Chain A
C-alpha cells in the first residue's frame, strides 16, 4: 500500500542545534514530494517541494531536503534551529491516485528550547 512514514513523532532540540527529520515513502513510479509546516494555531504552509532535477532542494527559512531515490527518502534538514521553528512538520507525497491529493505522514512535532 502507498504510504508516507515519518520516523520521529516528537523531537526536542536546543536553539542552534542541527535538525534532521526523516521521511520515507512507498510509491511506485514518479513522485512529487513536499514538506509542510504548521505553526501553533495556524494552517499548513509549504516549506519546500521536489518534482525533478537537483535532489537537494532549498526552501524557506533555511530549510532544505534531499531526495534519495534509492532509499525512497526525503529528509528535511536545517543546520541551526531557532525557537521560532517550534512547529509540526509534515512530509507529503502527491499521487495521481485521489486526484493528486497530498498523502501526508503523521507529522513530527518539533520543540526548540531556548
Chain B
C-alpha cells in the first residue's frame, strides 16, 4: 500500500535550472497539495488541486507551477530555481471536504546552489 509517493527524494540544482517534482497517490483521493517546509516556518501551502482538473495558488506560489495530470498525479515545477527555493517539499492528498485527513509523502529535499 504505497499511499503518496514523491520523486525524487533528493535533488541539487544550480540557480536558473528547472526541474519537476512528481507526486502520485493510490488512495483515489480527490484533493492534492504541495507544501514546502522550512526551519521555524512550519509547512506552507504552495499550490493545491481540490479536484481533478482544477489547481489554485496557496500561500507561497511564486516561482512554481503545477499540473494535475490525472486523479492520481500532481506535479510541481520550478522553472528557474533560486536559492530561496531550497527546502523540503511535501506532497499530500485527501478526500475533498472538511473532515478528511491529509496523507503525506516522504518529502523531497531540494538544494539550489
Interface residues of A (CB under 8 A from B): 9, 30, 32, 34, 42-46, 49, 51, 90, 94, 96, 98-107
Using Cβ atoms and an 8 Å threshold, which residues of chain A touch B94? 100
Using Cβ atoms and an 8 Å threshold, which residues of chain B touch A32? 98-99
Report whether over half of chain A's contact residues are helix, strand or loop; otherwise say mixed.
mixed
Size band of the B side of the interface? 20 to 34
Give complex CA distance A30, B58 in Å.
Answer: 21
Which of A44, A45, A46 is B90 in contact with, Cβ under 8 Å? Answer: A44
Which of B33, B43, B101 is A49 in contact with, Cβ under 8 Å? Answer: B101
Q: A90-B43, A104-B42 are in contact. Are A96 and B98 (CB under 8 A)?
A: yes
Minimum CB–CB distance for A46 against chain B, Å? 5
Contact A104 B43 (CB under 8 A): yes
The A-contacting residues of B in range 29-53, CB under 8 angstroms, are 31, 33, 35, 40-45, 48-50
Contact B42 A100 (CB under 8 A): no
Which A-chain residue is minimally distant from B45 (CB atoms)?
Answer: A101
Minimum CB–CB distance for A2 against chain B, Å? 11
With A96-B98, A100-B31 given, can you name 6 additional A-B contacts, CB distance below 8 Å?
Answer: A43-B106, A46-B101, A99-B49, A100-B50, A102-B45, A107-B42
Top 4 A-B pairs ranked by shortest CB distance?
A99-B50, A106-B42, A104-B42, A104-B43
Using Cβ atoms and an 8 Å threshold, which residues of chain B touch A104? 35, 42-44
Give complex CA distance A101, B105 in Å.
Answer: 15
Minimum CB–CB distance for B68 against chain A, Å? 12
A-B contact list, 17 entries, CB within 8 Å: A30-B98, A44-B90, A44-B102, A46-B101, A49-B101, A51-B99, A94-B98, A98-B58, A98-B59, A99-B31, A99-B49, A99-B96, A100-B96, A102-B43, A105-B42, A106-B41, A107-B40
Give complex CA distance A105, B40 in Å.
Answer: 10
Using Cβ atoms and an 8 Å threshold, which residues of chain B touch A51? 98-99
